[in-house]
Protein backbone atom coordinates (compact mmCIF):
# COMPACT_ATOMS: atom_id res chain seq x y z
CA UNK A 1 0.00 0.00 0.00
CA UNK A 2 1.20 3.53 -0.75
CA UNK A 3 2.29 5.83 2.06
CA UNK A 4 0.05 8.77 2.91
CA UNK A 5 1.08 11.73 5.04
CA UNK A 6 -1.79 14.20 5.30
CA UNK A 7 0.66 16.92 6.34
CA UNK A 8 3.19 16.14 3.63
CA UNK A 9 1.62 17.89 0.62
CA UNK A 10 1.61 21.55 1.69
CA UNK A 11 4.73 22.35 -0.34
CA UNK A 12 2.87 21.23 -3.48
CA UNK A 13 -0.09 23.45 -2.60
CA UNK A 14 2.20 26.46 -2.24
CA UNK A 15 4.28 25.74 -5.35
CA UNK A 16 1.26 25.35 -7.60
CA UNK A 17 0.00 28.89 -6.93
CA UNK A 18 3.36 30.60 -6.39
CA UNK A 19 3.14 31.08 -2.63
CA UNK A 20 6.44 31.38 -0.72
CA UNK A 21 7.12 28.27 1.33
CA UNK A 22 9.50 28.30 4.26
CA UNK A 23 8.76 24.86 5.59
CA UNK A 24 5.78 22.95 6.93
CA UNK A 25 3.12 25.10 8.62
CA UNK A 26 2.08 24.39 12.19
CA UNK A 27 -0.98 22.20 11.76
CA UNK A 28 -2.38 19.53 14.04
CA UNK A 29 -5.41 17.26 13.94
CA UNK A 30 -7.82 17.40 16.87
CA UNK A 31 -10.89 15.26 17.57
CA UNK A 32 -13.76 16.67 19.62
CA UNK A 33 -16.37 14.21 21.00
CA UNK A 34 -19.87 15.42 20.15
CA UNK A 35 -22.14 12.84 21.75
CA UNK A 36 -22.25 10.29 24.57
CA UNK A 37 -21.14 7.47 22.29
CA UNK A 38 -17.78 9.14 21.74
CA UNK A 39 -18.47 10.01 18.10
CA UNK A 40 -16.17 12.88 17.23
CA UNK A 41 -15.86 15.78 14.85
CA UNK A 42 -12.29 16.02 13.59
CA UNK A 43 -10.58 19.25 12.59
CA UNK A 44 -7.29 20.70 11.43
CA UNK A 45 -6.05 23.42 13.73
CA UNK A 46 -3.67 25.82 11.98
CA UNK A 47 -1.27 27.92 14.06
CA UNK A 48 -0.62 28.27 17.76
CA UNK A 49 -2.82 31.31 18.50
CA UNK A 50 -6.59 31.45 19.07
CA UNK A 51 -8.26 30.65 15.73
CA UNK A 52 -9.69 33.64 13.89
CA UNK A 53 -11.60 31.73 11.19
CA UNK A 54 -13.61 28.52 10.95
CA UNK A 55 -13.69 26.80 7.54
CA UNK A 56 -16.40 24.22 6.70
CA UNK A 57 -16.13 22.22 3.46
CA UNK A 58 -18.82 20.97 1.09
CA UNK A 59 -20.46 17.57 0.75
CA UNK A 60 -18.11 14.72 -0.28
CA UNK A 61 -15.08 16.89 0.57
CA UNK A 62 -12.94 17.28 3.71
CA UNK A 63 -10.96 19.89 5.61
CA UNK A 64 -7.96 19.65 3.28
CA UNK A 65 -9.95 21.34 0.51
CA UNK A 66 -8.93 24.60 2.24
CA UNK A 67 -5.16 23.92 2.44
CA UNK A 68 -4.07 26.43 -0.21
CA UNK A 69 -6.45 29.08 1.13
CA UNK A 70 -5.14 28.51 4.65
CA UNK A 71 -1.53 28.85 3.49
CA UNK A 72 -2.36 32.08 1.67
CA UNK A 73 -4.25 33.57 4.61
CA UNK A 74 -1.54 32.85 7.14
CA UNK A 75 -4.03 33.30 10.00
CA UNK A 76 -4.69 30.89 12.85
CA UNK A 77 -7.80 28.96 11.89
CA UNK A 78 -9.76 25.74 12.21
CA UNK A 79 -10.82 23.65 9.20
CA UNK A 80 -13.51 21.18 10.20
CA UNK A 81 -14.31 17.76 8.77
CA UNK A 82 -18.10 17.59 8.66
CA UNK A 83 -19.65 14.52 10.30
CA UNK A 84 -19.45 11.59 7.92
CA UNK A 85 -16.53 13.19 6.07
CA UNK A 86 -12.75 13.14 6.35
CA UNK A 87 -11.70 11.86 9.78
CA UNK A 88 -14.96 12.70 11.55
CA UNK A 89 -17.25 9.96 12.82
CA UNK A 90 -20.23 8.74 10.81
CA UNK A 91 -23.75 9.37 12.11
CA UNK A 92 -25.68 6.16 12.79
CA UNK A 93 -28.94 7.95 11.95
CA UNK A 94 -27.56 9.09 8.56
CA UNK A 95 -28.86 12.58 9.31
CA UNK A 96 -26.48 14.82 7.41
CA UNK A 97 -28.90 17.70 6.98
CA UNK A 98 -27.57 21.16 7.87
CA UNK A 99 -29.39 21.59 11.22
CA UNK A 100 -27.99 18.28 12.49
CA UNK A 101 -24.55 19.03 11.11
CA UNK A 102 -24.69 22.45 12.79
CA UNK A 103 -25.44 20.82 16.14
CA UNK A 104 -22.32 18.65 15.87
CA UNK A 105 -20.11 21.37 14.43
CA UNK A 106 -21.15 23.82 17.15
CA UNK A 107 -19.60 21.53 19.76
CA UNK A 108 -16.28 21.55 17.90
CA UNK A 109 -16.33 25.32 17.35
CA UNK A 110 -17.13 25.96 21.00
CA UNK A 111 -14.14 23.83 21.96
CA UNK A 112 -11.64 24.97 19.33
CA UNK A 113 -12.61 28.43 18.05
CA UNK A 114 -15.25 30.08 20.26
CA UNK A 115 -14.03 33.59 19.45
CA UNK A 116 -13.54 33.25 15.69
CA UNK A 117 -14.17 36.38 13.64
CA UNK A 118 -16.11 34.50 10.96
CA UNK A 119 -17.40 31.11 9.84
CA UNK A 120 -16.79 30.27 6.18
CA UNK A 121 -18.89 27.52 4.62
CA UNK A 122 -18.87 26.09 1.11
CA UNK A 123 -21.88 24.23 -0.42
CA UNK A 124 -23.15 21.82 2.28
CA UNK A 125 -20.82 23.67 4.66
CA UNK A 126 -22.48 26.92 3.64
CA UNK A 127 -25.92 25.54 4.42
CA UNK A 128 -24.53 24.34 7.74
CA UNK A 129 -23.20 27.85 8.36
CA UNK A 130 -26.68 29.30 7.83
CA UNK A 131 -28.03 26.83 10.40
CA UNK A 132 -25.20 27.65 12.79
CA UNK A 133 -26.02 31.35 12.58
CA UNK A 134 -29.68 30.73 13.38
CA UNK A 135 -29.24 28.10 16.10
CA UNK A 136 -25.89 28.98 17.68
CA UNK A 137 -25.57 32.74 17.15
CA UNK A 138 -22.98 33.18 19.90
CA UNK A 139 -20.50 31.24 17.74
CA UNK A 140 -21.09 33.08 14.46
CA UNK A 141 -19.99 36.72 14.34
CA UNK A 142 -19.92 36.88 10.55
CA UNK A 143 -20.77 34.50 7.71
CA UNK A 144 -19.02 33.85 4.42
CA UNK A 145 -20.99 31.53 2.14
CA UNK A 146 -19.25 29.94 -0.84
CA UNK A 147 -21.50 29.26 -3.84
CA UNK A 148 -24.73 28.06 -2.29
CA UNK A 149 -28.11 29.31 -1.05
CA UNK A 150 -31.26 27.49 0.09
CA UNK A 151 -32.43 27.93 -3.50
CA UNK A 152 -30.19 25.01 -4.55
CA UNK A 153 -32.01 22.16 -6.29
CA UNK A 154 -31.28 18.98 -8.20
CA UNK A 155 -31.08 20.75 -11.57
CA UNK A 156 -28.61 23.40 -10.41
CA UNK A 157 -26.42 20.86 -8.62
CA UNK A 158 -26.71 18.10 -11.22
CA UNK A 159 -22.96 17.83 -11.81
CA UNK A 160 -22.30 17.56 -8.07
CA UNK A 161 -24.99 14.91 -7.64
CA UNK A 162 -23.82 12.90 -10.66
CA UNK A 163 -20.29 12.79 -9.27
CA UNK A 164 -21.40 11.75 -5.78
CA UNK A 165 -23.70 9.06 -7.15
CA UNK A 166 -20.80 7.39 -8.93
CA UNK A 167 -18.95 4.28 -7.76
CA UNK A 168 -17.83 3.97 -4.15
CA UNK A 169 -14.68 2.02 -5.01
CA UNK A 170 -12.25 1.87 -7.93
CA UNK A 171 -9.72 -0.79 -8.99
CA UNK A 172 -6.84 1.70 -9.01
CA UNK A 173 -5.84 5.20 -8.01
CA UNK A 174 -5.58 6.21 -11.65
CA UNK A 175 -9.24 5.32 -12.21
CA UNK A 176 -10.57 7.22 -9.22
CA UNK A 177 -8.44 10.20 -10.26
CA UNK A 178 -9.61 10.00 -13.88
CA UNK A 179 -13.26 10.21 -12.85
CA UNK A 180 -12.52 13.11 -10.53
CA UNK A 181 -10.79 15.03 -13.32
CA UNK A 182 -13.72 14.40 -15.67
CA UNK A 183 -16.15 16.02 -13.23
CA UNK A 184 -13.87 18.93 -12.31
CA UNK A 185 -12.83 20.58 -15.60
CA UNK A 186 -11.88 23.90 -13.93
CA UNK A 187 -9.29 22.32 -11.63
CA UNK A 188 -5.67 21.39 -12.27
CA UNK A 189 -4.76 17.72 -12.36
CA UNK A 190 -2.20 18.17 -9.59
CA UNK A 191 -4.69 19.75 -7.21
CA UNK A 192 -7.21 16.99 -7.91
CA UNK A 193 -4.54 14.35 -7.30
CA UNK A 194 -3.89 15.86 -3.86
CA UNK A 195 -7.61 16.05 -3.24
CA UNK A 196 -8.11 12.37 -3.99
CA UNK A 197 -5.21 11.41 -1.71
CA UNK A 198 -6.92 13.27 1.14
CA UNK A 199 -10.42 12.03 0.27
CA UNK A 200 -9.90 8.37 -0.59
CA UNK A 201 -8.40 5.35 1.15
CA UNK A 202 -6.36 2.57 -0.41
CA UNK A 203 -7.58 -0.94 0.43
CA UNK A 204 -5.37 -3.99 1.10
CA UNK A 205 -6.07 -5.33 -2.39
CA UNK A 206 -4.86 -2.10 -4.03
CA UNK A 207 -8.31 -0.72 -4.81
CA UNK A 208 -9.44 2.70 -3.59
CA UNK A 209 -12.67 3.83 -1.90
CA UNK A 210 -13.99 7.25 -0.95
CA UNK A 211 -13.40 8.29 2.65
CA UNK A 212 -16.78 9.97 3.21
CA UNK A 213 -20.01 8.22 4.26
CA UNK A 214 -21.58 7.17 0.97
CA UNK A 215 -24.71 5.76 2.60
CA UNK A 216 -26.42 9.17 2.33
CA UNK A 217 -25.10 10.45 -1.05
CA UNK A 218 -23.69 13.70 0.40
CA UNK A 219 -25.33 16.87 -0.92
CA UNK A 220 -28.18 14.82 -2.42
CA UNK A 221 -29.76 14.64 1.04
CA UNK A 222 -29.78 18.42 1.26
CA UNK A 223 -31.46 18.78 -2.11
CA UNK A 224 -34.04 16.02 -1.97
CA UNK A 225 -35.04 15.79 1.68
CA UNK A 226 -34.72 19.29 3.08
CA UNK A 227 -37.48 21.88 2.83
CA UNK A 228 -35.63 24.84 1.30
CA UNK A 229 -37.96 27.35 2.92
CA UNK A 230 -36.77 26.19 6.33
CA UNK A 231 -33.20 27.17 5.54
CA UNK A 232 -34.29 30.48 4.06
CA UNK A 233 -35.64 31.20 7.53
CA UNK A 234 -32.18 30.41 8.90
CA UNK A 235 -30.76 32.95 6.46
CA UNK A 236 -33.16 35.57 7.79
CA UNK A 237 -32.52 34.71 11.44
CA UNK A 238 -28.84 35.68 11.56
CA UNK A 239 -28.11 39.34 12.23
CA UNK A 240 -24.42 39.36 11.38
CA UNK A 241 -22.38 40.52 8.37
CA UNK A 242 -22.79 38.19 5.38
CA UNK A 243 -20.65 37.75 2.28
CA UNK A 244 -21.84 35.46 -0.52
CA UNK A 245 -19.18 34.38 -2.99
CA UNK A 246 -20.55 33.06 -6.27
CA UNK A 247 -18.50 31.11 -8.81
CA UNK A 248 -18.86 32.73 -12.22
CA UNK A 249 -18.79 29.30 -13.91
CA UNK A 250 -21.11 27.60 -11.44
CA UNK A 251 -24.86 26.98 -11.98
CA UNK A 252 -25.51 26.30 -8.28
CA UNK A 253 -26.44 29.91 -7.43
CA UNK A 254 -28.60 31.90 -9.86
CA UNK A 255 -29.84 35.49 -9.97
CA UNK A 256 -33.15 34.60 -8.30
CA UNK A 257 -31.26 33.05 -5.39
CA UNK A 258 -29.20 36.20 -4.97
CA UNK A 259 -32.32 38.38 -5.09
CA UNK A 260 -34.00 36.30 -2.38
CA UNK A 261 -30.90 36.38 -0.20
CA UNK A 262 -30.66 40.17 -0.53
CA UNK A 263 -34.36 40.52 0.24
CA UNK A 264 -33.81 38.68 3.50
CA UNK A 265 -30.38 40.14 4.26
CA UNK A 266 -30.29 43.57 2.55
CA UNK A 267 -26.86 44.37 3.96
CA UNK A 268 -25.26 41.24 2.51
CA UNK A 269 -22.41 41.61 0.04
CA UNK A 270 -22.32 39.44 -3.08
CA UNK A 271 -19.14 38.92 -5.09
CA UNK A 272 -18.81 36.91 -8.31
CA UNK A 273 -15.44 35.17 -8.56
CA UNK A 274 -14.27 34.97 -12.17
CA UNK A 275 -12.72 31.74 -13.39
CA UNK A 276 -14.30 29.72 -10.59
CA UNK A 277 -16.86 26.96 -10.62
CA UNK A 278 -18.64 25.61 -7.56
CA UNK A 279 -15.46 24.90 -5.57
CA UNK A 280 -14.00 28.38 -5.50
CA UNK A 281 -11.36 27.28 -2.97
CA UNK A 282 -10.05 24.81 -5.53
CA UNK A 283 -10.38 26.90 -8.69
CA UNK A 284 -9.28 30.31 -7.41
CA UNK A 285 -7.72 29.81 -3.95
CA UNK A 286 -5.62 32.98 -3.95
CA UNK A 287 -8.54 35.17 -4.98
CA UNK A 288 -10.68 33.52 -2.33
CA UNK A 289 -7.99 34.15 0.28
CA UNK A 290 -7.78 37.79 -0.79
CA UNK A 291 -11.54 38.24 -0.51
CA UNK A 292 -11.56 36.56 2.88
CA UNK A 293 -8.68 38.70 4.13
CA UNK A 294 -10.44 41.90 3.07
CA UNK A 295 -13.65 40.76 4.78
CA UNK A 296 -11.86 39.70 7.97
CA UNK A 297 -10.03 43.01 8.24
CA UNK A 298 -13.32 44.88 8.11
CA UNK A 299 -14.86 42.60 10.72
CA UNK A 300 -11.85 42.97 13.00
CA UNK A 301 -12.35 46.75 13.02
CA UNK A 302 -16.10 46.53 13.61
Residues annotated as catalytic are 123, 147, 278
Separation of alpha carbons 270 and 246, rounded Å: 7
Residue 230 φ/ψ, nearest 5 degrees: -65, -40
Beta-sheet strands, E only, within 108-221: 118-122, 143-146, 169-170, 200-202, 208-210
Separation of alpha carbons 174 and 80, rounded Å: 28
Separation of alpha carbons 129 and 106, rounded Å: 10
What spatial distance separates the first Cα and last Cα of the chain, rounded to whole Å? 51
245 Cβ contact list (under 8 Å, min separation 6):
144, 145, 146, 147, 271, 273, 280, 288, 291
- What sign does the CA torsion over 17, 248, 223, 187 have? negative
Query: Residue 166, by phi and psi: left (phi above 0), alpha (psi -120 to 50) or beta?
Result: beta
User: What is the helix (H) or strand (E) element at residue 292, kind and residue range?
Assistant: helix 285-301
User: What are the C-alpha distances in Å from 182 to residues 125, 185, 196, 275?
Assistant: 23, 6, 13, 18
| Adjacent-strand bridge partners of 200 | 210
User: What is the helix (H) or strand (E) element at residue 53, kind and residue range?
Assistant: strand 53-56
Amino acid sequence: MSDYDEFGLFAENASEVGLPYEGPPLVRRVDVPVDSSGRAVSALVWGDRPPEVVLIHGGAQNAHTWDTVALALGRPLVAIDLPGHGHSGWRDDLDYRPPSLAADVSVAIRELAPDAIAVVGMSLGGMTTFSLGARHPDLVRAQVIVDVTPGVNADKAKAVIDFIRGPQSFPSFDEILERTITFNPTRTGSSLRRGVRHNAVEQPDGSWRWRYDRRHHGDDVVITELDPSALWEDVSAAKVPLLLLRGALSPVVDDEDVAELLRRRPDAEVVVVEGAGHSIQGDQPLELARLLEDFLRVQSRA
